Amino acid sequence: MFDSPIQISVVVPLFNEEESLPELCAWIDRVMKENAFTYEVILVDDGSRDASWAVIKEISSQNPHCRGIRFNRNYGKSAALNMGFKAVQGNVIITMDADLQDSPDEIPGLYRMISEEKYDLVSGWKKKRYDPITKTLPTKLFNAVTRKFSGIRLHDFNCGLKAYSRPVIKNIEVYGEMHRYIPVIAKWAGYANIGEKVVEHRARKYGVTKFGLSRFVYGFLDLLSITFVSKFRKRPMHFFGTLGSLSFFLGAVIALWLIIDQFFFSYPGQSWVVQRPLFFLSLVAIIVGVQLFLAGFIGEMITTNSQQLDDYVIAETLNITPENEVKS
């Protein structure tokens, strides 16, 4: 097990937040000192077009606990979080947004839930929000759908304020727009001890929100994607083969019934099998079934020959030398 002298790593993805950064970092530093935590802050600049990076350099020069990573362009929050996760050294990792809507005062409570209550992941729940109704209603719908799909009983999947044990963030990968579904990704990786904590939601003090309504459309598509990848990445034939077999069987049964009906139950003037629309629908079902089955077969071949065939999460090792240990 990895045990770092740094108790808490705070990862802050940001985009055009030059005004809020000094106040946020000073607030985090005050909370850490009041609780005698050893800590680091990883500020990930996701291609900001304002003076955010200059501010980060200034903060870093004054506070050695603050470190910075800057992207050459805007890649999105998931990429920023993933890069921050790779850089952290702490035992407990806490993520928060840079707009001051997440309160650093929540850090001690989140830390205790991970370190003492042994949760794998704790997600914040902004029970009382200061967002317009055009944002809160879609958010409630989004959370309800995600709960139904994932089976995880969280009220606020997209809350930026979360805490993780180190093994979780070192054994998952966040890509695309999957930051909304980190609890789902963690669960499928075997980290199912997921908790929730009511946290303070503060009104935005500087700037404007960087997210529009399109995120909910993309969010639903990402949910379908992560559900499929998590369940069938190692066995694509189970998905495509099942659908293909059902489609082929349905088409074959319909075609056989039409042929039997033509030869044994037809009456004078009845149209031929090949002139009936249902016959062509059965042919389409048979063809689609074959294509789906072949897609599953090809997927199995790709999976079998993939270099990442053994990318399973290792919970513990015994008598494994460091040079042979692939994950910790």
- 210 pLDDT band, cuts 50/70/90, is low
User: Does 301 lie in the same domain as 196?
Assistant: no
Structural domain contains residue 295: yes
Tell whether 147 and 192 lie within a shared domain.
yes
**Beta-carbon neighbour count of residue 68 at 10 Å?**
19
How far apart (Å, rounded) are the C-alpha atoms in residues 318 and 270? Answer: 75
Q: Which of 224, 226, 228, 253 is nearest to 239 (CA)?
A: 228
Q: Express each pLDDT in 146-187 by its tens digit.
A: 888 788 889 988 899 999 999 999 998 887 778 888 998 899
In the β-sheet with 121-125, what is the strand arrangement from edge to edge? 66-70, 39-45, 8-14, 92-95, 162-165, 121-125, 194-198
Domain that holds residue 180: 8-232
CA 188, CA 67: separation in Å to the nearest integer? 31
Q: What CATH number is attached to the domain comprising 162?
A: 3.90.550.10
Average pLDDT of span 216-221: 64
- In this prediction, residue 132 carries a pLDDT of 65
- Residue 101 lies inside a defined structural domain of this protein: yes
In a domain, 312, yes or no: no
113 and 147 inside one domain: yes
Q: What is the mean pLDDT of residues 304-325?
A: 47
The full 3-state SS of the chain, as one line of letters, equals CCCCCCCEEEEEEECCCCCCHHHHHHHHHHHHHHCCCCEEEEEEECCCCCCHHHHHHHHHHHCCCEEEEECCCCCCHHHHHHHHHHHCCCCEEEECCCCCCECHHHHHHHHHHHHCCCCCEEEEECCCCCCCHHHHHHHHHHHHHHHHHHCCCCCCCCCCCEEEEHHHHHCCCCCCCHHHHHHHHHHHCCCCCEEEEECCECCCCCCCCCCCCHHHHHHHHHHHHHHHHHHHCCCHHHHHHHHHHHHHHHHHHHHHHHHHHHHHCCCCCCCCHHHCHHHHHHHHHHHHHHHHHHHHHHHHHHHHHCCCCCCCCCCCCCCCCHHHCCCC
206 plus 298 within the same structural domain: no
When pLDDT is averaged across residues 116-140 and rounded to a whole number, the result is: 82
Same domain, 100 and 217: yes
Q: Which of 232, 253, 282 is the last residue of a domain?
A: 232
Mean pLDDT, the chain, whole residue set:
83
Residues 182, 275 within the same domain: no
CA distance 152 to 147: 5
Residue 67 lies in a domain: yes
Same domain, 78 and 187: yes
**Number of domains, the chain:** 2
The residue written with tokens 């199995």 in the block is 300
Answer yes or no: do 278 and 300 share one domain. yes
Going by pLDDT thresholds of 50, 70 and 90, the confidence category of residue 312 is very low
Return the amino acid letter for 143.
N
**Is the full-model pTM beyond 0.85?**
no
- 284, part of any domain: yes
Q: How confident is the model at residue 328 (pLDDT cuts 50, 70, 90)?
A: very low
Residue 323 has pLDDT above 50, yes or no: no
Rounded Cα gap, residues 253 and 262, in angstroms: 14
Q: Is residue 316 one of the residues assigned to a domain?
A: no
Query: Is 171 within the bounds of a domain?
Result: yes
Amino acid at 12: V
Residues 34 and 135 in one domain: yes
Q: Which of 168, 201, 232 is the last residue of a domain?
A: 232
Residue 270: pLDDT band with limits 50, 70, 90 = low
Q: How many CB atoms within 10 Å of residue 129? A: 13
**Domain end call among 204, 232, 260:** 232
Q: Are residues 114 and 146 in the same domain?
A: yes
Burial of 291 (0-12, 13-18, 19+ CB in 10 A): middle
- Does residue 197 sit within a domain? yes
Do 110 and 54 lie in one domain? The reply is yes
Same domain, 225 and 283: no
CB 126 within 8 A of CB 201: yes
> When comparing pLDDT for 270 and 140, which is higher?
140
